[in-house]
Each structure stands twice: as structure tokens, then as C-alpha cells.
Structure 1
Amino acid sequence: MVANSAHRPITMVCMANLSQLLEPRTRPGLITDLTELIQHTVAEQSGISGMAIKGAVSTATRINADIIPKGINQMLPGMLGDLEPRWAEFEKAGATDFGTFLEKDSAEVSDAVMSTADRHAERINVAPLAKTYKSLRNKGAKIVEGKVPELGRILQKHMK
């Protein structure tokens, strides 16, 4: 509490910031949960584009078995920065489920996540992986859009 000029107490509200998830005590668990979300999401894909996505992920993991968690780790600061204003709105609104809160704007959230992925994809130095990313990018955006509520719930879980 801080006293103002009239000596009345003023309550200081300290809102949590998504950047906390980058701290060593929370980051590994968050990366594990996001990796599991991605692996589960890839596994549930079907059809021709699903086969292409599964093939691309299989190829990538043959090149580097930890490519998914490493990619998440690299993308995490940018993604959390993009989602921070939404987290602040969520807290200010007094909402209880970040996934449900994000769901109404899932297309915009997906665009933010994919923009972060695009920035990192520009640095892919394995030509077949870069080409595959570009060819599957739009399908990936639709998949991410459907997973926004789960992403929000994972982030909220680790904010506790």
C-alpha cells in the first residue's frame, strides 16, 4: 500500500506478465506442454495435407530429434510478446479461462503465432525444410487457429 497526498491508502495492483513464462522455473514445463500439443495436433491430421504435415515433421525430427522443442524455445519470446496485450486484457476483464478468452479472436491470435513462426522460418538453412514450411504455411495457420483455446489454457496453467 502507498499513501496518497490525503493519506488514504492506495492499493497497488501488480498484474502478471507472460514474460514470467521465460524464467528457468517455468520455461521447460511450458515447452514440454507445447511440444505435446504440437505432436498431438500433427498426429491427428488426416488427408493429403495431413500426410504432408506428418511427413515434414518426420523429416525434420530425423534431421534433429529435438527440433520441435528447440523451435518452441526460440519462438517463445516473440509469441509471448505478441500475446501479452491479450493476457493483460484477460486479467483486466477478470476472465477465468484464457483459452476461451482467446477463442473469439482465434484468427488474429493464429496470425500472431504464425508471424512469429514466419520470422524464424526465414532462418531455416535446410532448403527442403524451408520449402516444406512455405508450402504448408497456410494449412498450418488454419490448424493453429483451431488450437488457440488449448494454447491459451496451457499458457494460463503455467502462469499459476
Structure 2
Amino acid sequence: MPNLSQLLEPQVRPALIKDLSEFIQQTVNEQSGISGMAIKGAVSTVTRVNSEIIPKGINQILPDMLGDLAPRWEEFEKSGAQDFGAFLEKDSDKVADAVMSTADRHAERINVTPLAKAYKSLRNKGAKIVEGKVPELGGILQNHMK
């Protein structure tokens, strides 16, 4: 049975990081209103500090995130379902909590002040956004599992 850890293999990981980076940027661009402006501003600020901050951040948290999602992948494989994103959608809140918990653990180690400040101020809004994007995240992971 395939395991999500295979996404960390050198022949898969760079493409996954690229797709997740694009997914994050697209998600940021979709935000609107006052909080959307804050999110866009924060991302703009940190990417000016380091243009590779998003892919680097994904690369750092990816092993932990995949580890947190591995039991759900195993359930998905056993279920016979065809769409990992749809499978995760029923538990979007719990999946988002797991993803955000991983991000929180890594955020504690951020040593770039603007990034740490932006993360703290936008964390709760980010959790709501992640919850709504769980099916797409699942789809990206599944695409790279093939």
C-alpha cells in the first residue's frame, strides 16, 4: 500500500512543493475584504524579504504535515474511495486543525520577525481558509501519489 512518505522522495518532492506553492499563492490571491488585504500584505512583505519563503516553508513542514495526514491516507486507501480531496472534505475541520497544528509547531521557530508577526496576526483567519481548501489540498497530494 502506498504511503504519503513517498511524496518526500527526491523525484517527487520538488514538483509537489511547486504545486503547493502555487496553490498557496492562488489561495492568497483569492482572499478579499479587510482580512484578505491583510493576508495579501503579509505575504507580499515576507516574499520581499525572501522570494522563496513559501517553497522553503513548505519544504520544512512537509514531512510533519504528511506524517499527520498519513492515517487519513491509509483510511482512504482502505475505503476504496477514488478522490482523496472528497474523502477529506467530510472532516475538513479536523484536517485543517492538523495542518495548522503542524504550521504552529514550525512557526515557533521562525526567526524572521516580519514573518513571525504576520503568522501570529493571521493564524486564526488562516485556519478558516485552510478548512475551505482541504479538498484541493487532498487532490494535490493524490495527484503526486500516482
TM-score band, normalised by shorter chain: over 0.9
The offset of 1:23, in angstroms, is 0.1
For 1:6-155, list aligned pairs within 5 A: 15-155=1-141
**Gapped runs of 5+ residues in structure 2?**
none
CA RMSD of aligned residues (A): 0.6
Q: Which amino acid in the other structure matches residue 115 of structure 1?
A: S
**Gapped runs of 5+ residues in structure 1?**
1-14
The offset of 1:131, in angstroms, is 1.8
The offset of 1:128, in angstroms, is 2.8
- Tell me, what secondary structure is at the counterpart of 2:130? helix
Aligned residues: 146
- Tell me, what secondary structure is at the counterpart of 1:125? coil
TM-score for the superposition, normalised by structure 2 = 0.98
Q: Which amino acid in the other structure matches residue 50 of structure 2?
A: N
C-alpha separation in 1, matches of 2:115 and 2:142:
32
Instruction: Report % sequence identity.
Output: 82
C-alpha separation in 2, matches of 1:26 and 1:67:
20
- Tell me, what secondary structure is at the counterpart of 1:96? coil
Q: Which residue of 2 aligns with 1:8?
A: none
The offset of 1:127, in angstroms, is 2.3
- Tell me, what secondary structure is at the counterpart of 1:24? coil
TM-score for the superposition, normalised by structure 1 = 0.90
